[in-house]
Structure 1
Amino acid sequence: MSVQSLPELLIHDLGDILFAERTILKALPKMIREVSGAEMRARLEQHYEETQQQVGNLELAFAALGERAQAQRCPGILGIIQEHDEFKSEEEPSKPIMEAFDLGAGLRVEHYEIAAYRSAIAIARNLGIPEVIDLLQRNLDQELAMASFIESNAAMALETARANAEAAAAKSASRGGAKKGGARKGGAKKGAVKRGAAKKGGASKRGGAKKATAKRGSTKRARR
């Protein structure tokens, strides 16, 4: 698609945002499953419904321009999603640390969308298309509200994540210590068994020596 005018740029940007919203719609259920806090989970579930509405608003914006809603591949949002997936698979974070990472990932998504909507609204305003401006502004307001929620709850969520991560680490260390203690006891038992075997071996050797001496004594008496 050749983009040579502002109307064409607006259509391109709407396609970019549409792709992003549809991608986020697929990714949100996975993020919701990774969150343990009831309030954050409920807010993400609400935002899932908002994202469905946003897709509908974008399709209406296309219709207002007399265009068919067509998504344009958005490398920006794909990069954020890929970063999330690679961190999870390559770094193998604990659940509390994954939740802390998700806060940052969520903010990156929201601010990417905020920038995209503000840019598209500026173009629509320049072209004097109030219907498109209104539809995009609704979506922008929801993204701003979601970003604000994440930021206002980040401190508490990070504190909870830190406490949970430290508790998990302490529990893991405790289990490791118990295993080492068991290994020491096992080693002590093996040592005792070896010492017992050594004693038996020594006693057997001494007994054999006594028998040999007795035999030599008997031989001498027989000769006499």
Structure 2
Amino acid sequence: MTKLSEIYVTGLKNAHAMEHEALAIMEPQVASIKNYPEVAQRLQQHLEETKGQILRLESLLERAGAQKSALKDIAMGAGGTIAALGHKLAPDEIVKNSFANFAFEHYEIAAYKSLIALARAQNDSDAVATLTTTLDEEIAMSEWLDYNIEPLTLQFATLREQGLHSKN
């Protein structure tokens, strides 16, 4: 295996673990959202996309003759769980989750752009296409979050002013 291939495979393993972290962050959010059905619906959609992204990454790892890193998957999943728990205590949990999700989407976008560059450097057009599909999903989620941060914040404030449960 060339150094380039080693870097690429490491990136695939890292992305696989990153997506497990995303699941660990989103699953509790979806389960607890009550007053923001459009947020719950979009997170659920992205949760399903993320499961598909994991399968695509596993396929790319298999094509490269590598396996996912169970240790990285567990560690990143645990990190995501801890991150999700950190916002549970906040009175503005839904808003803080929105910030964190927006930041995490940009982390994922950067990771997929890097993987695409490595796949291109190896002239692997199939991998480029597969990774671009995932990148497009991450960009779409980031754009949705960006568009909805202000309305979500105002909805939170309105519910709070009305004395209604606004946390999630």
What 5-or-longer segments of structure 2 have no aligned partner?
Answer: none
By percentage of residues, which structure has more helix? Answer: 1
Q: What pairs with 1:54-203 in structure 2 (closer than 5 Å)?
A: 54-70=53-69, 73=72, 82-88=82-88, 92-94=89-91, 97-168=92-163
Give 1:4 deviation, angstroms: 7.5
Q: 1:83 to 1:32 in 2, by over 3 A?
A: same
CA RMSD of aligned residues (A): 2.4
Give yes or no for contact 2:22–2:80 (8 Å, CA) kept in 1.
Answer: no
- Hey, what does 2:19 align to over in structure 1? 21
- Aligned CA distance change for structure 1 residues 50 and 22 (closer, same or farther; 3 Å): same
**When the two structures are aligned, how many residues end up with a matched partner?**
162
The 4+ residue runs of structure 1 with deviation greater than 6 A are: 74-78
Q: Answer with 1 or 2: which has the greater Rg.
A: 1
CA displacement, residues 159-201 of structure 1 (integer Å, 9 cap, x when unaligned) = 01112223339xxxxxxxxxxxxxxxxxxxxxxxxxxxxxxxx
Instruction: Give the share of equivalent positions with the same residue, in percent.
Output: 26
8 Å CA contact 2:24, 2:81 repeated in 1: no
The gaps in structure 1 that reach 5 residues or longer are 170-224
TM-score, reference length from structure 1? 0.65
TM-score (norm. length: structure 2): 0.84
Q: Secondary structure of the residue that 2:163 maps to in structure 1? A: helix
Partner Cα distance (1:83, 1:155) in 2: 22
Distance in 1 between residues matched to 2:155 and 2:106, nearest whole Å:
24
46 and 39 in structure 1: CA distance in 2 versus 1, 3 angstrom threshold? same
Distance, in Å, in 2 between the alignment partners of 1:151 and 1:57 is: 26
Residues 75-114 of structure 1: CA deviation (Å, up to 9, x unaligned): 78866653442343xxx322xx111111001112111111
> What does the per-residue CA deviation read over 1:23-63, in whole Å, with 9 as the maximum and x for residues that have no partner?
22233220113332111111111111101110111011112
1: distance between equivalents of 2:15 and 2:115? 9
Say whether the 8 Å CA contact 2:29–2:84 is kept in structure 1. no
Question: Relative contact order, CA 8 A, sep 6+: which one is greater?
Answer: 2
Aligned to 1:73, what secondary structure does the other structure show?
helix
Q: Post-superposition shift, 1:5?
A: 1.0
Query: Shift in Å at residue 71 of structure 1?
Result: 5.0
| Partner AA of 2:17 in structure 1 | F
2:44 is the alignment partner of 1:45: yes
Matched residues in 2 for 1:87 and 1:134: separation?
35
Amino acid aligned to 1:24: A
